[in-house]
C-alpha cells in the first residue's frame, strides 16, 4: 500500500499529544509528512512522543500547555504558531475522564472536568482562530465522545463536557464557514487509551476510576458489535487525519462516531 502524504506542507497543532489518541494523531500526521506541534501538560509524555516519532522528530515540536489555564493556552498557542510558521490544522484531544456517583461528586470535581474538556477546547480554539484564518484549508477537529449521546453511567460531568463540545462544534462551523475554517468532531467509543485504562501520562489523561459498587450490568451494551474488543488509539487517529486533510474538505459541522458498532 502506498504511503499517504496528505500532510506534506501542512502544519498541525495537537493538544493531548503526550499520550493516547492525541499521541497517535501526532504520529499519524508526521507519518503522512506533516509538521506538527504536540502540546500536553506532561513533559514526560511529550518526551515519549518525541522518542516514538523517530526520524520524523525533526518535524515535531513539543510545547507544554495546560488547556485549563488561559495564560498557558495563550502563550502555548502563540509558541506553536511561531514554531510552525502558521497553522492549518488544530486537533483538540486533551481531556480528562472522572467517574463517580453523581450524588457523591463535588462541585470542584465536576467543574474540573468541564474546565479541562469544554473550556480548554474553547480556549485553544479562540487563540488559534487568527492563525487558522490565514491557513491553507484550515480545519479543526474536536473530541466529543459516544458519552455525549448515549448513557454512560457514573460519568455525568464527562458526558456534559463532551455534549458541550459537540454542540460548540456545530456553532463554530456555522460562524466561521465564510472564513473557510471547517469544524468537525469525533466521537470515540470502546477505544483503549491512556484515558480509559489509566495509563495516561498526565492529569489531562486519567483513567475512569469507577466506583467500588459499580453496577456492571449497566455497561452490558457497551461492547463493540464487531466482536474485536476495544480498538487502539491509532484507529481514531486515522479518522482525525482524514478530517484534517484535503480528503475531508467537504465535511464540516458534524461528528463521526468511531466505536466499532457499540451504539447502533
Catalytic residues: 158
For 198-240, give the DSSP string: S--SSTTS------TT--GGGGTT-S-TTSS-SBPHHHHHHHH
* Residues 132 and 87 sit within 8 Å (Cβ to Cβ): yes
Element (H, E) at 195: helix 194-197
- DSSP-based three-state secondary structure for 256: strand
Cell (9 digits) for 37: 506541534
Rounded to whole angstroms, the Cα distance separating 36 from 59 reads 6
* Cβ neighbours around 84 below 10 Å, total: 22
Walk across the sheet containing 254-258 and list its strands: 60-64, 35-40, 11-15, 89-92, 139-143, 182-188, 254-258
State the residue for C-alpha cell 479562540: 126
Amino acid at each position: 500500500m502506498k504511503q499517504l502524504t496528505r500532510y506534506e506542507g501542512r502544519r498541525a497543532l495537537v493538544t493531548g499529544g503526550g499520550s493516547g489518541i492525541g499521541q497517535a494523531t501526532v504520529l499519524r500526521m508526521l507519518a503522512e509528512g506533516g509538521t506538527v506541534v504536540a502540546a500536553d501538560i506532561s513533559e514526560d509524555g511529550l518526551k515519549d512522543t518525541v522518542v516514538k516519532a523517530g526520524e520524523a522528530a525533526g518535524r515535531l515540536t513539543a510545547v507544554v500547555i495546560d488547556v485549563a489555564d488561559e495564560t498557558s493556552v495563550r502563550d502555548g498557542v502563540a509558541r506553536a504558531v511561531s514554531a510552525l510558521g502558521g497553522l492549518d490544522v488544530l486537533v483538540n484531544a486533551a481531556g480528562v475522564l472522572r467517574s463517580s456517583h453523581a450524588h457523591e461528586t463535588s462541585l470542584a470535581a465536576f467543574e474540573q472536568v468541564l474546565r479541562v474538556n469544554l473550556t480548554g477546547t474553547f480556549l485553544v480554539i479562540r487563540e488559534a482562530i487568527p492563525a487558522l484564518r490565514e491557513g491553507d484549508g484550515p480545519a479543526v477537529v474536536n473530541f466529543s465522545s459516544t458519552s455525549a449521546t448515549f448513557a454512560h453511567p457514573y460519568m455525568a460531568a464527562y458526558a456534559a463536557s463532551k455534549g458541550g463540545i459537540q454542540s460548540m462544534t456545530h456553532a463554530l462551523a456555522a460562524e466561521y464557514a465564510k472564513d473557510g475554517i471547517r469544524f468537525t468532531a469525533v466521537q470515540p467509543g470502546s477505544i483503549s487509551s491512556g484515558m480509559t485504562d489509566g495509563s495516561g501520562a498526565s492529569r489531562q489523561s486519567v483513567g475512569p476510576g469507577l466506583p467500588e459498587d459499580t453496577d456492571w450490568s449497566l455497561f452490558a451494551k457497551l461492547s463493540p458489535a464487531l466482536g474485536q474488543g476495544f480498538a487502539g488509539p491509532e484507529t481514531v487517529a486515522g479518522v482525525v487525519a482524514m478530517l484534517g486533510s484535503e480528503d475531508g474538505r467537504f465535511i464540516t459541522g458534524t461528528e463521526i462516531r468511531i466505536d466499532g458498532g457499540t451504539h447502533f
